[in-house]
Amino acid sequence: MNKTQTNHIKLLSVIFCLCCLFSCSDNNPKLTQLSDYAVILAFGDSLTYGTGADNSQTQSYPAVLQQLIGHSVINSGIPGEISMDGLVRLTEDLEEYEPDLVILCHGGNDLIRRLNKDKLRHNLEQMVSLIQGSGAQVVLVGVPNFNITLAVPDLYVEIAQQFNVPIQMDVIPTVERNPSLKSDTIHPNTEGYKQVAQEIQQLLWETGALLTN
């Protein structure tokens, strides 16, 4: 075997390994199937509250998700909240609602205000730890930097891997990139929130938390 052939084999091996790595990264951890009486807590800021929808009470993503899946989905979104305040509030919500699953979509205001990302990471880690410590399952939703790239910071994926929880990385950036799905420069409109709800429903199907119809 000559040097050219050897190098070619090495290159193919590297490509194969990279393909395997990317394939594995697309596979979210499985969740325990939710019972018919399970309570889901949607915890976050204005993206959870439904700011920008025609009616935040009925057209926020938690409200639409509840209609789609037939489970109780509690909307615990506070517009303008930063992760430090969310961490304090989460303890109260876990005690009050005793959820079986928490959909955690937080950190947008930290990113908008350019607050310290190490502190954001710490606060999100503590949130996930609190949720798991309460006995609830977690789904993490990645929030992008609100700039021209709309890239989700690596810390979201790293936290998901650290705690072995599923993450939905694409839906918020996808909505943010589409002006027809937005009510202003930041917030989705009614159709945007509907898409968020549909993608989270899909994730719950894929991870086994819900059975497909």
Q: What is the span of the domain harbouring residue 103?
A: 36-206
Where would I find the H helices in 60-116?
A: 61-69, 83-97, 108-112
Q: Is 64 inside any structural domain?
A: yes
Q: Is 23 inside any structural domain?
A: no
- Put the strands of the sheet holding 101-105 in their side by side order: 72-77, 39-44, 101-105, 137-141, 167-168
Q: Is 41 inside any structural domain?
A: yes
- Amino acid identity of residue 127, one-letter, is M
Q: Is 24 inside any structural domain?
A: no
How far apart, in whole angstroms, are the C-alpha atoms of residue 208 and residue 187? 29
Confidence of residue 103 (pLDDT cuts 50, 70, 90): very high
Q: Is 112 inside any structural domain?
A: yes
Residue 85, class by beta-carbon neighbours within 10 Å (0-12 exposed, 13-18 middle, 19+ buried)?
Answer: middle
Confidence of residue 212 (pLDDT cuts 50, 70, 90): confident
Per-residue model confidence as pLDDT tens digits over 4-43: 444 444 444 433 333 433 333 458 999 999 999 999 999 9
Q: Which residue has the higher pLDDT, 83 or 25?
A: 83
At 100, which CATH number?
Answer: 3.40.50.1110
* Sequence-distant (≥ 6) Cβ neighbours of residue 73 within 8 angstroms: 40, 41, 42, 62, 63, 65, 66
Q: Is 106 inside any structural domain?
A: yes
Q: Is the pLDDT of residue 106 over 60?
A: yes
Per-residue model confidence (pLDDT) at position 27: 81
* Sequence-distant (≥ 6) Cβ neighbours of residue 75 within 8 angstroms: 42, 48, 49, 50, 60, 62, 63
Give me the phi and psi of 23, to 5 degrees please. Answer: -65, -45
Per-residue model confidence as pLDDT tens digits over 143-159: 999 999 999 999 999 99
Q: Is 10 inside any structural domain?
A: no
Per the structure, how many domains does the chain have?
Answer: 1
pTM over 0.75, yes/no:
yes
How far apart, in whole angstroms, are the C-alpha atoms of residue 175 and residue 182? 7
Radius of gyration of the chain (CA): 19
How far apart, in whole angstroms, are the C-alpha atoms of residue 202 and residue 196? 10
Per-residue model confidence as pLDDT tens digits over 35-49: 999 999 999 999 999
Instruction: List the one residue out of 167, 119, 163 whose CA is nearest residue 142.
Output: 167
Q: Is 86 inside any structural domain?
A: yes
